[in-house]
A and B are shown apart, each in its own frame.
Chain A
């Protein structure tokens, strides 16, 4: 019940295209859903996060869509750039778990010039 399932495992997009990564969760106690970006040899860096009281959050080219009833959320990267090539992780946590993040398996995004 603590799992977060992420898809696809890898994604190839042309420059200027839209990258979409999906996550699904089971634990209805989850109330905070961040996305992290990780470059090789680096720690994950927070990209954008959402709480379930809204269905969408946009920051620049990055948008999270959230469907509470389906227990799914997704990351959309508009106008994808080669510099966006990285591994993306969705995560979830519940207030009652004191910030323990449960991560998805990761998506390796490659943006071709």
Chain B
């Protein structure tokens, strides 16, 4: 059984650019959640995908978007990057049905730096 993997590990972009981050969920998991963790802070929920549909969203603007694929892997896309988008982006997977609170397992994250 493989854990949650994310790519790339590190990324440097300039303001205004677009970025795509990728996540492979743990084997058997059908739900992927994305979090943004600023330096020295707790992770903040961005959104969750369940069976390829967005299943809840935090207080993030529409330029943060995502996808989930039939194999339950996921992408996080951020358009028009701003300096404040610099953070560690975490993906977490779980095996869940609607309304459940199954354990989320986190990947190692992608460190995004916006210059």
Binding site for B on A (CB under 8 A): 6, 31-32, 34, 36, 41-46, 49, 89, 91, 93-106
Contact = CB atoms under 8 A, between A and B. Distances in A.
Secondary structure type dominating chain B contacts: loop
Given A44-B90, A98-B48, 20 more contacts: A6-B42, A34-B103, A41-B108, A42-B109, A43-B4, A43-B90, A43-B107, A46-B104, A93-B101, A98-B50, A99-B33, A99-B48, A99-B102, A100-B33, A100-B48, A100-B56, A101-B43, A101-B92, A103-B43, A104-B42
Interface residues of B, number: 31
A46 to B, nearest CB: 6
Given A98-B55, A98-B96, A103 B104 contact: no
Interface of B: 4, 31, 33, 35, 40-45, 48, 50, 55-56, 58, 90, 92, 94, 96, 98-109
A102 B90 CA distance: 14
A94 B105 CA distance: 17
A31 B101 contact: yes
Interface centre among A34, A45, A46, A98 (most CB of B within 10 A): A98
